[in-house]
A and B are shown apart, each in its own frame.
Chain A
Amino acid sequence: MRRELKVWGRLKHHSILPLYGVANDFGPHPAMICPWAENGALTDFLERQQDMLSSQDKFSLLNDIALGLQYLHNESVVHGDLTGSNVLIYADGRACLADFGLSTIVLEFVGTSYFTSSIRGNVRWVAAELCEAPEDNEISLSTECDIYSFGSITLQVLTCKVPYYNVKNNILVLGQVIKGKKPVPPKESQIAPGHWKFIQQCWLPRASRPSVGEIVAFVECERQALLNSSTEI
């Protein structure tokens, strides 16, 4: 576990929550010390701010998240648990990724199953293949799982609603994921067809999903388009 934490300690990027160090008086495992993100987790932030956030703000958030993810993947780190709870918002409104690789730590050293935590709520963002029963009983996290979750995050940021917003119960959500039913945008949300298409590409079978580079490019392109349109007005 120290080795996993050391990997985190080594990562330095403005979209990655830094690990300052560890404390040893919080129980059997070393506790992780990180900066306090004033605005909390993405899900709560979006619920609080949904009426105040412009499209530019939203794509700015997505840009932070995409860049963080690109950095992780370039460093051969799979986040493995990209959800609205693990993206944190600093006081200045910037987003950063937290708790990456923790699922690996927990799998290796604590022995809990991925599903124990999935049912708790991250099932809303989790890649469909992680909810299938694999033949060899091994759950293999991959960068593509993060891409799937990024699609879910994008839906959430653009609509300010959690994926499967219309399904309250997490276990029922799991049922939908297993059946292959993807989240749908809220009826009242006006999600651009191009954005919806991008989200759906992230949810394609593993091999067909865009790379993290394509994701960064897409988000940057949309962000620039919004900036240009706002300066024209």
Chain B
Amino acid sequence: MKEEGSKGGRIGCEETLVRKKVNGIGKEMQVGNKADVVRPEEEESHTTHDLRTKSAESRRKEEEAKLKAFGAVCATEEEILKEEQPARGKECDKPTPHNSENMLPHAHSLLNTSTSPTSESTATEEDSLEDLTNELQGKSRYPIAFGGFGDIWKCDLVKPSGTIQVAVKTIRSFESDNEKLR
């Protein structure tokens, strides 16, 4: 994370913000509630940009924040375990460049999608991991199957382009529940 500081005031500022969030996130993650760890920082966006760039900017920041959050979590694990995990550490501490040429593929794809802001559905073809919570319908009352790691539900995914049947796989909590009880 140190190297990021040298990249200028704006990044440094962001980093502080991320760090603040990360302190909370670490705890959240340990209880297994990773669903909504980081939200887009709309107010951090530059007002000089037009709307499209702004949403892209905020989404990219969200991604950066997530990446950094993972970095922080990994770092904590390393501290606890006192183990070197070079491969993983490197990946987590990857600097997040700000020019589009060096943009992470994922962030890049988000920028590309933002050129057609109305078609959220195109993101499925990109690298992003889309939150489709609000586009699922017709959830059966009970899971349709029980897999090794969790249950499988059959739902309809409602997209502007049409409705398709999807499988929704959940991961059962196993020991994480016991940890809460301890």
Contacts and interface: CB of A to CB of B under 8 A. Distances in A.
A194 interface: no
B147 interface: yes
B129 A110 contact: no
A55 interface: no
Interface in A111-166: 111-112, 116-117, 120-122
Interface string A12-34: 00000011111111111111111
Interface in A91-124: 99, 102-103, 105-106, 109-112, 116-117, 120-122
Nearest to B106: A6
B169 A24 contact: no
Contact of B175 (A5, A20, A29, A112): A112
B58 interface: no
B169 A31 contact: yes
Contacts of B171: 1, 27, 29, 31, 102, 105-106, 110
Interface string A26-46: 111111111111000000000
Given A24-B133, A85-B147, A110 B167 contact: no
A36 B129 contact: no
A111 B35 CA distance: 18
Interface size class of B (residues with CB under 8 A): 35 or more
From A10, A18, A28, name the one whose CB has the most chain B CB atoms within 10 angstroms.
Answer: A28
Contacts of A111: 174-176, 179
Given A24-B133, A99-B149, A36 B166 contact: yes
B173 A110 contact: yes
A23 B70 contact: no
Contact of A120 (B148, B168, B169): B148
B34 to A, nearest CB: 6
A9 interface: yes
Contact of B32 (A20, A24, A28): A28
B51 interface: no
Given A22-B129, A24-B36, A30-B35, A37 B167 contact: yes
Nearest to B37: A2
A33 B148 contact: no
A197 interface: no
Contacts of B66: 2
Contact of B129 (A6, A81, A117): A6
Contacts of A168: none
Interface of B: 31-36, 66, 70, 105-106, 124, 127-133, 136, 147-150, 153-155, 157, 164-176, 179
28 contacts: A2-B70, A3-B70, A6-B106, A9-B129, A20-B130, A20-B157, A21-B132, A22-B130, A23-B133, A26-B168, A28-B31, A28-B173, A29-B32, A30-B34, A31-B153, A31-B168, A31-B170, A32-B168, A32-B169, A34-B169, A99-B169, A106-B171, A110-B32, A110-B173, A111-B175, A112-B174, A117-B148, A120-B148
Given A27-B173, A99-B147, A99-B148, 5 more contacts: A25-B133, A29-B150, A36-B167, A106-B171, A110-B173
